[in-house]
Structure 1
Amino acid sequence: MAKRLRRDPIYIAPEIIGHINENGTPIVFDERTGEELNPNNPFDKIKIYGRQVIGWFLKPAQNMVRYKTQNKGFIVLMICLSYIEGVEEYRTGQSSRNRSNEFFRNGLHRMYPRKFTDNDLDRFYREARCGLFHNGMVRGQIIINSSFEESLSFPESGTIKVSPSKFLRDIITDFESYIRTLKENIAARELFDNSFSNL
């Protein structure tokens, strides 16, 4: 779900500010371009969503990787993991409520076709995603190192190797592809439009 407009002006995306005026009308303004946006227009929604994901998540993660920030692996991985389920909701037009693992697995199968088994991705979900978001730390099977050759691998039972920098690169590629799809594909845009709202 997108960030909601309020009576007081707030940033709903980097350099996009909005509020609900005294008449109940949404006012959304792109400070970068100087244009007013319509939060009901699918193409303006795509712009807002794209700016949110890139500006608040992917670009800061890229900066951590680019500037060799110490101890960045866990936070970069957390940003990557938070992307997967959410984008899958918009792709399918469905809520992942009580189906989080399924959406996570389907998102990774889509990103890495025929590369991993359901069992591999279920383990990754439990060990990385649930570990970080429920316990504040990955669980025992996860090994993080940006020097690993692959973004994600399951070399042996009980071991999951993750290169946060390469995984982030794959996430960015996937997101850029999704934004292009939204602009070009009516069916994909309708699913997104029905799921994403700032109102």
Structure 2
Amino acid sequence: MTTSGEAKLAGRLGPTDWAVRAKELLNKPTTDLWRRTAREYFHDRIEPRYLEPIRELDRLNRLRGEGFAVVTIQCALIEFLAALRTGENYKLDKPDPKKGEYNDSGRLFRDFLAKEAPFSAVFATTAGDFYRDIRCGLLHEGQSKGGYLIKKKSKSGLIVDLGPPKVLYWTDLQGAIETYLTQYTNDLETVAALQNAFIRKYDHLARTAV
């Protein structure tokens, strides 16, 4: 069990708990154990940090700019999901790819959107634009760029309308994120590559948790 004062990885679970679970996953993996791991370590980590804040902002429904905050959170979540899928860990100074380290967020972000369903159906050729004009614009300058508007919901279920004007609909993007989360957690029960990447990522999170 988590020791007093120990950092939390997900819910009440901390690095001590993960050390035990990682051994179980490596030595006696089962579908049920991976299902519980997805719930306890993945869902219970992203729910309070990303999903619930997005829902709270959605409930405001003021249409006074809260979409900028929502999409900023979504971009942070997308990058985490991309790194989790590959088991990579961010290191600013001299990352070692052989150790699964990266510092090129753009490459990770773009590849994820362009290649992984359901995002690839939308961003196969425009992932670079999204990274530059939405992700980097919001994180670095507090505004979208490249002529993009950010609106709540499209009438036809579009995530992006290339216009003119170009529009990102954040409610529809959230729908795609939730579709991905469902598929990822299902795949995590049986796909070895995803399981190995998950363990690498959470080993790192446990080592660096504060």
Provide TM-score, normalisation by structure 1.
0.74
Aligned to 1:56: 49
Deviates more, 1:143-152 or 1:92-101: 92-101
Give the length in aligned residue pairs.
177
1:153, 1:161 within 8 Å by CA — same for their partners in 2? yes
Per the alignment, do residues 9 and 112 of structure 1 end up closer, same or farther by CA in structure 2, a change over 3 Å counting? Answer: closer
* Equivalent-residue separation in structure 1 for 2:61 and 2:104 (angstroms): 36
Letter in 2 for 1:90: L
Per the alignment, do residues 66 and 187 of structure 1 end up closer, same or farther by CA in structure 2, a change over 3 Å counting? Answer: same
* Equivalent-residue separation in structure 2 for 1:172 and 1:80 (angstroms): 11
Aligned to 1:79: 73
Aligned to 1:23: none
Is 2:112 the counterpart of 1:112? no
- 3-state SS of the aligned residue for 2:162? strand
- 3-state SS of the aligned residue for 2:61? coil
* Equivalent-residue separation in structure 1 for 2:104 and 2:7 (angstroms): 31
* Equivalent-residue separation in structure 2 for 1:114 and 1:175 (angstroms): 16
Is 2:148 the counterpart of 1:154? no
1:9, 1:17 within 8 Å by CA — same for their partners in 2? no
Is 2:5 the counterpart of 1:8? yes
1:182, 1:189 within 8 Å by CA — same for their partners in 2? yes
1:93, 1:195 within 8 Å by CA — same for their partners in 2? yes
In proportion to residue count, which structure has more helix? 2
Per the alignment, do residues 18 and 192 of structure 1 end up closer, same or farther by CA in structure 2, a change over 3 Å counting? Answer: closer
* Equivalent-residue separation in structure 2 for 1:187 and 1:112 (angstroms): 20
Q: How far did residue 11 of structure 1 move?
A: 3.5
In proportion to residue count, which structure has more strand? 1
Aligned to 2:196: 190
* Equivalent-residue separation in structure 2 for 1:176 and 1:54 (angstroms): 13
2:122, 2:159 within 8 Å by CA — same for their partners in 1? no
Structure 1: segments with no counterpart, 5+ residues: 20-25, 29-36
Aligned to 1:171: 177
2:7, 2:14 within 8 Å by CA — same for their partners in 1? yes
User: In percent, how many aligned pairs have the same letter?
Assistant: 21
2:160, 2:168 within 8 Å by CA — same for their partners in 1? yes
Q: Quick one: which of 98, 102, 106 aligns to 2:103?
A: 98
2:87, 2:198 within 8 Å by CA — same for their partners in 1? yes
Q: Report the aligned-residue RMSD.
A: 2.7
* Equivalent-residue separation in structure 1 for 2:3 and 2:104 (angstroms): 30
1:127, 1:140 within 8 Å by CA — same for their partners in 2? yes
